[in-house]
Amino acid sequence: MMDQPAFNHGQTMAFLELQALNKRYNAVVAVEDFNLSIQRGEFVSLLGPSGCGKTTTLQMIAGFTQPTSGSIMLNGRDLGAIPARKRGLGIVFQTYALFPHMTVEQNVGFGLEMRNVPSHERRRRVSDALDLVHLSHLGDRFPRHMSGGQRQRVALARALVIEPELLLLDEPLSNLDAKLREEMQLELRRIQQEAGVTTLLVTHDQSEAMALSDRVAVMQSGRLIQEDSPFDVYEKPATSFISTFLGKTNSLPALLERAGKRTQIVIDDVRLAGPQTVLANGPVELSLRPERIELTDIDKATLSGDVIERVFLGDHWLFRVETPIGKLLVMQRNLGRRGAEIGERLHLFWEPEAMRLLPRGDVS
Amino acid sequence: MTASGRTTPWLLSAPALALFAALLLTPLAMTFLLSFNSFSFYGGIENTFGPENYIEVLSDLYFYEIFGRTFLIAFITTAICAVLGLPEAYILFRMKPAWRSFMLLVVLGPLLISVVVRTLGWAILLGNKGVINEFLRDIGLITSPIRMMYTSTGIVVALVHVMIPFMILAVWAALQRQDPATERAAESLGAAPLTVFMRIVLPQAMPGVLSGSLIVFSLSASAFATPAVLGGRRIKVVSTTVYDEFLNTLNWPLGAAIAMLLLVSVLTIMIAWNKLVERRYSGVFE
Ligand SMILES: Nc1ncnc2c1ncn2[C@@H]1O[C@H](COP(=O)(O)OP(=O)(O)OP(=O)(O)O)[C@@H](O)[C@H]1O
Ligand SMILES: [Mg+2]
């Protein structure tokens, strides 16, 4: 990382620093040797399948769960011995956890009340926070008279009004329907940038993680397996697990061979020109994104095959094509023409560099 | 909707309705009618119709005292049950699952034992030569026994023991409905444990406390076994008075009138209480 803040007692330390974090529940290892640094103002997503330890990690930062070992440093101070209520973090829970017996204003003002902020200043800050989430007109509603998206925004305002050093979000959008979720993604990003607050989001939704964050940290069975920009995690997944978890991909076992400087991919008895790679010859996992496969003429085709399935998704078509190397998922932009019929022969082309080679089967 | 579609629900609930009518409404109606009959010491019950019994009860301070005592006992019992039951339910709620089911059994266990048996147990404890007094005398704290039998205090103590499981169950149900994350949310906003309990848990548990109070109050006001055993002849409540009118004086119509007055006053208090609660919490809970 290049852009580290210069202060912090002369050390070069990130804003939030998780070091060798471990959490064990008896025999269950929930989080294992977890290291992550987040810069001030950054929006980082913790992405992974259900049960991989995302919530546990978040709860340890929040102070609701004690780590078995490891340390959590926020802005140079060790959070280990500080109880949750003194950490001053803004947390949005998956269920929003609004106080049902308080109005929206009382909900948002609760944190300020706990900090003994005088009432006139409290009113001003509550109304600023409600402005930020576009809810100023609903200040005296009770939560149960509000929609899911509105509740979500109240929860966000309540977490932000205390001007937390760090905002923690545990699957904040998972209770919303698809359309609202998309709207709230943009909204969340705007609010986070306006407030300029360092944010850690937990999600199992890869599109959410990619849409919102500066950096994505992918977890699998309690471990951090890759952290990168959304583009790089998608384009350069470190393992075949990540390539299948993020977006759609064709994942095929293959054999890597080299002829001089050039690489070759062998699948069954098909040989294809391969991409540049540092992997050694031998068995590899090949990952080819459906959107990188183009339809072309027979003379330019890398491979050809028959359509065995097709799905129309509005902005694009998804075909499953039976080729000599196996069934391939092919995506094609909808250009206003009818897509290929089932049984029709398609000629497929892709650049060798579109194929990503990953070590076989060690993690998955 | 077809005719059969409209009658089916009625047909299905007919057995329950019949049972309800036979076992509750009929005796109630007959008691109501009985309360307007008159009674003479030599002639017994006469089939007249007039409000004399009600006039007799309502114009005699003796009955006011009994009603007053009954409701005071019921009220204090309810208050103690609420004050003890709420934290108890909360502590149970926060226990580890294995402990929780065991402790819940301990709390609800007394419900499996007959009220009469439990009350006799209290009599053994509270009597002048009872366990508590003997113990206090043996360690030299008192010379003459403290009177606990045949006092309102004794009745309240025993009633609290009988009634508190109902309060705990009602509060428990309310706690279970609340989102456990609200407590953590409050904590993350800087609330200390006591503040979390007072500002977040208590208000959300309040509907449970209020409905528990309703149950405890009405059961206490009409309780018979406990005041009968622990109050005896000396501390009379409405239900024991009714019993005496029926079985000792044999003045059934007067007993019936007192019973009707108890029913009406308890109902009135319950309905008023319920209205109050609904008004207070209408915006908040469904
Ligand atoms: N209190 C607990 N006791 C025992 N095991 C637990 C406890 N909490 C979590 N675990 C285990 O730790 C692992 C990680 O759980 P965690 O809740 O962090 O997963 P997650 O990534 O948040 O999953 P999800 O996406 O489903 O919310 C799981 O295997 C879970 O069973
Ligand atoms: Mg989770």
pLDDT at B285: 62
User: In terms of CA atoms, which chain B residue is nearest residue A143?
Assistant: B284
A80 lines ligand 1 (CB under 6 A): no
In a domain, A65, yes or no: yes
Pocket test of ligand 1: the residue of A34, A47, A50, A56 to mutate, having most ligand atoms within 8 Å of its CB, is A56
Interior angle at CA A113, CA A110 and CA A116, nearest 5: 160
Non-local CB neighbours of A74 within 8 Å, separated by 6+ positions:
A15, A16, A17, A87, A165, A166
Non-local CB neighbours of A353 within 8 Å, separated by 6+ positions:
A275, A276
Q: Determine contact: A138 vs chain B, CB below 8 A.
A: no
- ipTM score here? 0.81
Distance, in Å, from the CA atom of A249 to the CA atom of B108, rounded to the nearest integer, reads 57
In a domain, A142, yes or no: no
User: For B1-19, what is the mean pLDDT?
Assistant: 82
In a domain, A323, yes or no: yes
pLDDT at A362: 53
A324 lines ligand 1 (CB under 6 A): no
| pLDDT confidence tier of residue A338, bands split at 50, 70 and 90 | confident
Question: B35, B57 in Cβ contact below 8 A?
Answer: no
Pocket test of ligand 1: the residue of A52, A93, A200 to mutate, having most ligand atoms within 8 Å of its CB, is A52
A8: pLDDT strictly greater than 80: no
pLDDT at B2: 59
Using the mean position of ligand 2's atoms as its centre, give its distance from the Cα of residue A242 in Å.
19
In a domain, A223, yes or no: yes
Q: How many CB atoms lie within 10 A of CB B7?
A: 11
For residues A170 and A311, membership in a common domain is answered with no
pLDDT in tens, A137-184: 999 999 999 998 899 999 999 999 999 999 999 998 888 888 888 888
User: For A220-234, what is the mean pLDDT?
Assistant: 94
| pLDDT confidence tier of residue B39, bands split at 50, 70 and 90 | confident
**pLDDT above 70 coverage of chain B, percent:** 97
Picking from A221, A240, A259, the residue at the C-terminal end of a domain is A240
Classify each residue of A178-211 as buried b or exposed e, where b means 16 or more C-beta atoms within 10 Å of its C-beta.
eebbeebbebbeebbeebebbbbbbbbbbebbbe
pLDDT at B40: 82
For residues A222 and A257, membership in a common domain is answered with no
In a domain, A228, yes or no: yes
pLDDT at B181: 93
**Relative to the CA of A222, which ligand 1 atom is closest?**
14
Q: Determine contact: A125 vs chain B, CB below 8 A.
A: no
User: For B214-242, what is the mean pLDDT?
Assistant: 91
For residues A350 and A230, membership in a common domain is answered with no
The minimum CA-CA distance between B284 and chain A, rounded to whole Å, is 5
User: In terms of CA atoms, which chain B residue is nearest residue A108?
Assistant: B189
pLDDT at B198: 93
A21: pLDDT strictly greater than 80: yes
| pLDDT confidence tier of residue A2, bands split at 50, 70 and 90 | very low
Inspect the interface and report whether the beta carbons of A85 and B182 lie closer than 8 Å: no
In a domain, A140, yes or no: no
B4: pLDDT strictly greater than 70: no
User: In terms of CA atoms, which chain B residue is nearest residue A109?
Assistant: B189
| pLDDT confidence tier of residue B144, bands split at 50, 70 and 90 | confident
Non-local CB neighbours of A331 within 8 Å, separated by 6+ positions:
A248, A290, A291, A293, A316, A317, A318, A319
Picking from A215, A240, A265, the residue at the C-terminal end of a domain is A240
Helix pair B97-108, B152-177: axis angle to 10 deg: 150
pLDDT in tens, A254-306: 999 988 888 999 998 888 998 988 888 989 999 999 999 999 988 888 999 99
Total of domains in chain A = 2
Counted across chains A and B, CB pairs separated by less than 8 A come out at 73
Q: Give the pTM.
A: 0.82
A66 lines ligand 1 (CB under 6 A): no
Domains annotated for chain B, with CATH where assigned, are 37-280 (1.10.3720.10)
Distance, in Å, from the CA atom of A183 to the CA atom of A186, rounded to the nearest integer, reads 6
| pLDDT confidence tier of residue B3, bands split at 50, 70 and 90 | low
Inspect the interface and report whether the beta carbons of A99 and B182 lie closer than 8 Å: yes
Question: B159, B118 in Cβ contact below 8 A?
Answer: no
What secondary structure does DSSP assign to A127-142, as a single string? HHHHHHTT-GGGTT--
B107: pLDDT strictly greater than 90: no
What mean pLDDT value characterizes chain A? 90
For residues A262 and A290, membership in a common domain is answered with yes
For residues A199 and A322, membership in a common domain is answered with no
Using the mean position of ligand 1's atoms as its centre, give its distance from the Cα of residue A295 in Å.
44
CATH number for the domain that contains residue A348 = 2.40.50.140
Contacts with A84 from chain B: Cβ below 8 Å? 184, 187-188
Beta bridge mates, B45: B39
More confident residue, A4 or B107: B107
For residues A178 and A55, membership in a common domain is answered with yes
For residues A326 and A353, membership in a common domain is answered with yes
For residues A28 and A75, membership in a common domain is answered with yes
A3: pLDDT strictly greater than 80: no
Classify each residue of B236-254 as buried b or exposed e, where b means 16 or more C-beta atoms within 10 Å of its C-beta.
bbbbbbbbbbbeeeebbbb
In a domain, A144, yes or no: no
Distance, in Å, from the CA atom of B93 to the CA atom of B172, rounded to the nearest integer, reads 7
Classify each residue of A57-75 as buried b or exposed e, where b means 16 or more C-beta atoms within 10 Å of its C-beta.
bbbbbbbbbebeebebbbb
For residues A191 and A321, membership in a common domain is answered with no
Element (H, E) at A333: strand A326-333
pLDDT at A247: 87
For residues A213 and A253, membership in a common domain is answered with no
Q: Tell me if residue B107 falls in helix, strand or coil.
A: helix
For residues A195 and A278, membership in a common domain is answered with no
User: In terms of CA atoms, which chain B residue is nearest residue A155?
Assistant: B185
- Amino acid B20 reads F
Q: Determine contact: A28 vs chain B, CB below 8 A.
A: no
The minimum CA-CA distance between A162 and chain B, rounded to whole Å, is 8
Using the mean position of ligand 1's atoms as its centre, give its distance from the Cα of residue A119 in Å.
40
Distance, in Å, from the CA atom of B77 to the CA atom of B164, rounded to the nearest integer, reads 9
In a domain, A146, yes or no: no
User: For B207-236, what is the mean pLDDT?
Assistant: 91
pLDDT at A7: 46
What mean pLDDT value characterizes chain B? 90
Classify each residue of B59-70 as buried b or exposed e, where b means 16 or more C-beta atoms within 10 Å of its C-beta.
eeeebeebbebb
Backbone angles phi, psi at A94, to 5 degrees: -60, -35
CATH number for the domain that contains residue A233 = 3.40.50.300
**pLDDT above 90 coverage of chain A, percent:** 65
B43: pLDDT strictly greater than 90: no
| pLDDT confidence tier of residue B6, bands split at 50, 70 and 90 | confident
pLDDT in tens, A49-90: 999 999 999 999 999 999 999 999 999 899 988 999 999 999
Picking from A200, A223, A240, the residue at the C-terminal end of a domain is A240
Question: A16, A197 in Cβ contact below 8 A?
Answer: no
Domain containing A276: what range?
248-359
**pLDDT above 70 coverage of chain A, percent:** 96
Inspect the interface and report whether the beta carbons of B181 and A87 lie closer than 8 Å: no
pLDDT at B249: 85
User: For B74-90, what is the mean pLDDT?
Assistant: 95
Using the mean position of ligand 1's atoms as its centre, give its distance from the Cα of residue A200 in Å.
18
For residues A67 and A36, membership in a common domain is answered with yes
pLDDT at A155: 95
Using the mean position of ligand 1's atoms as its centre, give its distance from the Cα of residue B222 in Å.
50
A32 lines ligand 1 (CB under 6 A): no
